[in-house]
Amino acid sequence: MATNFKFSITDLSYDSLVATCQSLATTYFPTWDFGNANDLGRFVLELYLHALEKALWLVNRWCGEFNLLTATERRNVENRARTLGYNIQELSASTGTVVVLFPVATVDKSVAANSIRLTCTGDDGYPVYFENRSAFTLPAGTTRVQLTYDEGKTVSQNATGTGEKYQSVIMTKDSIIDGSVKVSVDGVAWLEVESLAGSSSTDTVFVVERYGDSGVEVIFGDGVMGAIPANDVDINISARTGGGVRGNIAANTALTVDSAPYALTIVSNTAFLGGTDLQELDTIRLLAPIHRRSYNRLCTISDVAAFAQGISGVGRVSVMVSGTNVYIRVVPTDCGIPSDALLATVNSTIAPLLLMGYNLFVFAPCYKGVVVTVTGVAQDGLVADNVKTSVINAINARLNSMAVDDDGNYLNNFGGLLTTDDLVFAIRDEGSLKHGFDLSSPIDNVSFDTSQIVSAGASTINVTVTGGTTLVSFLDRVGS
C-alpha cells in the first residue's frame, strides 16, 4: 500500500533510521511520546529497524562481492578478474636439483615421493622446505643420485563424506601452492577440474577455490554436475604449503635434512627458480579491467607490459615505443636468456592486440654484470665459510633481475642505476659481517642504458672473510 512516509534507507545507519523515524513521528503523530524508551510502539519500531539495518548490510555486502572493486573475498576478486580474461599470478613453488649421497647398501632402497624433506633458513628468518618430486629406487651399491626437488611441505587433512550436494572441505593450512591439491575418496583418487560445469553425475571430480588469503576450499559436485561423496566415506586431502619468491634460493645453499627414510648426505644443489608470490588483490583490481576497457586491444605501454607479464614463462618486461614501433625486452622467470620459443610466443600473443599501424619487436634483455669484491670480518661465533656463503647469497639476491622490495617494487630496472650503497645495505642487512667491511669493487655507481639490466648470473662476486671460526674448529668445540 502506498504511503506518504518515504525516506531513503540505503545509506542510513540504525541511529540515522531512528532519528528519521522520530522526525516523521513529530510531524505526523505529534501526540506520540516517541522519546519514551518504554513505549511499546517505540520497541516494535526499533526491533524492525534493527532487522532492516542487518538486511541492508547483508544485501550490500552480497552485491559488493559481485563487483571487482568492492569484493573482499579473494575467490570473488579472482572470479571477477577471470571473467575479464585476466591471467592471475598464482602461488607457485620453485624447482631445482639436489645431489645426495647414501651409504653403501647391499639391497635396493625404495624412496617415496615427498619423503626426503630438506630445509634452509629463508631471508625472512623462517624455514623453507623442499621435497623430492618423484618416487625412485636406489639400486644396491649405488650411493650418489641427483634428484629433482620442489619447494614446499606436504600436509594432509581428513574429512568424512556427508552425502550432501556441493560438500566442501576447507584446508586449514595457509599458503597452499597452486595445483598441489590431491583428493582421494574411499581410497580412490578424484580429479581436480576448473569448473563442475560440463561434468556428468558420475564424474569423480572436484574444484579448488582460494579461501581467505592463501588457504583453499575443496568443493564436490551435486550429483548432476560431478559426483557426490557418499555418506560416511573417508576423504583424504593432501596439498603442499610454501611457494613464493622466498623459495628461489641460490646454488649450493646450506641445506639440511629435515626428514628422510634413510641416512643421507647433501652434496650440492642447483639454484631453485620459478617461485612466484600470490598476486595482491589490489594489483588484480588495477590490472584486470584493462582487458575490458581496451576491448581486447593494448592501448598503452602499461597495457602491453601488464599483459606480457601474464604470459607463462615471462618474469618481467621492458616496453618502449619509438614512432610506430613497440620494443619489448623479456626477462624470463628464471632470469636467464629467454628461449626463441618464449620470444615467439610473446610476439604472436601481443602483435594481434596492438593498435593498427604499430609494429612489434621482441628481444632478449641485455644483461650487464658487475664485479663485486668484499673483504670483512665475521661476527663472533659464526663459521667463516658459512658467513662467506651468506654474503654471496645476499649480493646475488640484490643483483637478481627480479629482486623486489617489501612493497613489491623492482629494485633493478632497465636503464637504472646500481649504487655502492645498494650493495652495502644488502650486506649489512644480511648481518653476518662486522661493521667496517670493505667493498672495494665496484668503486663507482654503475649505470645501465635502456636495453640493459643488472644480472646476478653475469656478475662476479669475490668475498674474503676472516675471523669467526672455521667449520673444523667449530665441530671440535662442539665435540669437546
User: Which band of pLDDT confidence, cut at 50, 70 and 90, is reported for residue 2?
Assistant: very low
CA 424 to CA 430: how far, in whole Å? 10
Contact indicator for 303, 288 with CB cutoff of 8 Å: no
CA 119 to CA 66: how far, in whole Å? 41
Contact indicator for 89, 279 with CB cutoff of 8 Å: yes
Residue 338 carries which DSSP code?
P
User: Which band of pLDDT confidence, cut at 50, 70 and 90, is reported for residue 1?
Assistant: very low
How many of the other CB atoms lie within 10 Å of CB of 266?
17
CA 39 to CA 154: how far, in whole Å? 62
CA 52 to CA 43: how far, in whole Å? 14
CA 325 to CA 304: how far, in whole Å? 13
With a cut of 50, say whether residue 130 has pLDDT above it. Answer: yes
What is the distance between the terminal CA atoms of the chain, rounded to a whole angstrom? Answer: 93
List, for residues 393-449, the tens digit of each pLDDT value: 999 999 999 998 888 889 999 998 999 999 999 999 989 999 888 888 787 889 999
pLDDT, position 323:
87
Which one has a higher pLDDT value, 24 or 479? 24
Q: CA nearest 243: which of 310, 332, 306, 181?
A: 181
Which range is least confidently modeled, 82-91, 115-124, 185-194, 381-390? Answer: 82-91
**Distance, C-alpha 87 to centroid of its chain:** 14
CA 280 to CA 276: how far, in whole Å? 12
pLDDT, position 134:
95
With a cut of 60, say whether residue 475 has pLDDT above it. Answer: no
**Quick one: how many helices (H) and strands (E) in the chain?**
10, 25
Peptide bond into 289 cis (omega under 30): no
Residue 230, burial from CB neighbour count under 10 angstroms (0-12, 13-18, 19+): exposed
Of 51-65, 71-85, 118-132, the range with the highest mean pLDDT is 118-132
Average pLDDT taken over every residue of the chain = 88
List, for residues 62-82, the tens digit of each pLDDT value: 788 888 888 888 888 888 888
Grid cell in block for residue 473 = 674448529
With a cut of 80, say whether residue 261 has pLDDT above it. Answer: yes
Q: Which fold does the domain 294-364 belong to in CATH?
A: GMP Synthetase; Chain A, domain 3 (3.30.300)
Residue 404 carries which DSSP code?
B
Strand partners, 206: 192
Contact indicator for 271, 399 with CB cutoff of 8 Å: no
CA 334 to CA 454: how far, in whole Å? 14
pLDDT, position 473:
55
Q: CA nearest 400: which of 390, 389, 411?
A: 411
Q: Does the pTM of the predicted model rise above 0.75? A: no
List, for residues 148-199, the tens digit of each pLDDT value: 999 999 999 999 999 999 999 999 788 999 999 999 999 999 999 988 988 9
**Distance, C-alpha 216 to centroid of its chain:** 14
Percentage of the chain modeled with pLDDT above 90: 57
Contact indicator for 259, 117 with CB cutoff of 8 Å: yes
pLDDT, position 292:
58
List, for residues 262-319, the tens digit of each pLDDT value: 999 999 999 999 999 998 888 888 888 765 555 567 878 888 998 998 899 999 999 9
| DSSP assignment string, 163-232 | --TT-EEEE--S-BPTT--EEEETTEEEEE-S-STT--TT--EEEEEEETTTEEEEE---SSSS--PPTT
The helix (run of H) or strand (run of E) holding residue 322 is strand 314-322
How many of the other CB atoms lie within 10 Å of CB of 76?
19
**Distance, C-alpha 26 to centroid of its chain:** 58
